[in-house]
């Protein structure tokens, strides 16, 4: 046989063996990686389940074990932050600071890995809002985080920002942020966002803005959860009464709310009766006598409602 052919055959044989070896190593590596990934996913799922069941010590043990092998997954650090945050809420005074600092560390790590991790940013904002300075909170860092969140989800940023702004009476800024968020992409459905925004305006006494937003919700889009859809009826009645506008709309909605099955209503019956009596009184041009309002005030055991009726009657006398 030609020596050149022998050498060529030997070379091809060795080359084939080498390629086969590389292929086997690659298959083995892929199998090991798949097994490791499955193991990490299993740990993550176990930690998530333990957290959901409020088995916090077990969840902590699982997430720490997971983080020993996985340092590049933002979602893993986010879960660790949630676990530590919940532990801080339930711990004794001596352990609270330690858990709070851990929550901050984990949320910060998640954002460092993924600057677009919306939930981790929200978690860190809440940490700075609620945790004491001794745990590392810094109120001055909140605006920057909210601005970062606004570039990702303007509706989520509005929810985080609106309460403080309304508390400081920066109503125009809140209105501007609301309008900006309306047409931005978001995880929050439009109708639910509008409802939540209206509730914030209402909570701080800005009833005209709240009424305008509440009425702008397009129910045909099915963007509201069931509880909000029902509560919207009562809120429209409340807002028309507080603004003393569109009283017929308020009467219609409080009647619809009152007619719902008892299990669907979360507002006490005395408040429902008051809103109907209040709206009827206002709709009459305040010519009806106050008997029904006084009757409700006399029978109710709700101190807040008693005070509300008293202030309403005093205001009616002045008018």
Query: What residue spans define the domains of the chain?
Result: 158-224, 232-319
Q: What is the pLDDT of residue 172?
A: 97
- What does the angle CA 74 – CA 80 – CA 83 come to, to the nearest 5 degrees? 145
Q: Say which residue, 23 or 133, is predicted with more confidence.
A: 133
- Sign of the C-alpha dihedral, residues 18, 21, 25, 30? positive
Q: What is the pLDDT of residue 35?
A: 45
Q: Dmax of the chain from CA atoms?
A: 123
The answer to whether residue 161 scores a pLDDT higher than 90 is yes
Q: What is the pLDDT of residues 258-309, one digit of tens each?
A: 999 999 999 999 999 999 999 999 999 877 789 999 999 999 999 999 999 9
Q: For residues 48 and 58, what is the distance between their CA atoms, to the nearest angstrom?
A: 10
The answer to whether residue 36 scores a pLDDT higher than 60 is no
The answer to whether residue 141 scores a pLDDT higher than 90 is yes
Q: What is the pLDDT of residue 17?
A: 59
| Mean pLDDT, residues 41-70 | 94
Percent of the chain exceeding pLDDT 70 equals 87
Q: Say which residue, 23 or 193, is predicted with more confidence.
A: 193
Cα–Cα distance list, 82 to 16, 227, 238 (Å) = 53, 26, 37
Residues 6+ apart with CB under 8 A from 114: 74, 120
Residues 6+ apart with CB under 8 A from 313: 290, 293, 294, 297
The answer to whether residue 133 scores a pLDDT higher than 80 is yes
Q: What is the pLDDT of residue 10?
A: 56
The answer to whether residue 34 scores a pLDDT higher than 50 is no
- What does the angle CA 250 – CA 155 – CA 152 come to, to the nearest 5 degrees? 170
The residue among 234, 193, 237 whose CA lies nearest residue 216 is 193
Q: What is the pLDDT of residues 202-213, one digit of tens each?
A: 999 999 999 999
pTM: 0.80
| pLDDT bucket at 32, cuts 50 / 70 / 90 | very low
Q: What is the pLDDT of residue 50?
A: 96
Percent of the chain exceeding pLDDT 90 equals 81
Least reliable range by pLDDT among 140-144, 220-224, 255-259: 220-224
| Mean pLDDT, residues 179-191 | 95
Q: Say which residue, 24 or 190, is predicted with more confidence.
A: 190
């Amino acid at each position: 046989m030609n020596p050149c052919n022998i050498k060529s055959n030997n070379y091809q044989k060795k080359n084939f063996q080498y390629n086969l070896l590389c292929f086997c190593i690659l298959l083995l590596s892929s199998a090991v990686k798949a097994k490791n990934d499955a193991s990490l996913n299993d740990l993550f799922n176990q930690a998530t389940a333990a957290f959901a069941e409020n088995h916090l010590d077990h969840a902590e043990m699982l997430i720490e074990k997971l983080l020993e092998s996985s340092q590049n997954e933002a979602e893993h650090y986010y879960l660790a932050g949630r676990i530590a945050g919940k532990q801080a809420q339930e711990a004794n005074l001596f352990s609270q600071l330690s858990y709070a600092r851990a929550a901050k560390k984990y949320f910060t790590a998640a954002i460092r890995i993924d600057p677009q991790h919306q939930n981790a940013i929200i978690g860190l904002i809440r940490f700075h809002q609620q945790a004491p300075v001794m745990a590392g909170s810094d109120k001055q860092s909140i605006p920057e985080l909210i601005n970062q969140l606004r570039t990702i989800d303007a509706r989520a940023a509005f929810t985080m920002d609106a309460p403080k702004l309304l508390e400081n009476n920066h109503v125009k800024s809140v209105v501007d942020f609301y309008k900006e968020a309306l047409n931005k992409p978001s995880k929050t459905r439009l109708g639910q966002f509008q409802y939540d925004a209206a509730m914030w305006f209402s909570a701080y006494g800005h009833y005209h803005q709240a009424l305008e937003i509440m009425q702008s919700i397009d129910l045909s889009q099915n963007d509201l959860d069931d509880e909000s859809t029902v509560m919207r009826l009562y809120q429209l009645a409340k807002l028309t009464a507080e603004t003393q506008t569109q009283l017929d709309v308020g009467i219609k909605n409080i009647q619809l709310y009152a007619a719902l099955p008892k299990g669907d209503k979360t507002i006490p019956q005395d408040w429902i009766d008051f809103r109907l009596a209040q709206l009827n009184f206002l709709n009459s041009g305040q010519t009806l006598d106050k008997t029904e309002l006084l009757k409700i005030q006399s029978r109710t055991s709700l101190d807040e409602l008693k005070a509300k009726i008293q202030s309403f009657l005093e205001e009616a006398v002045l008018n």
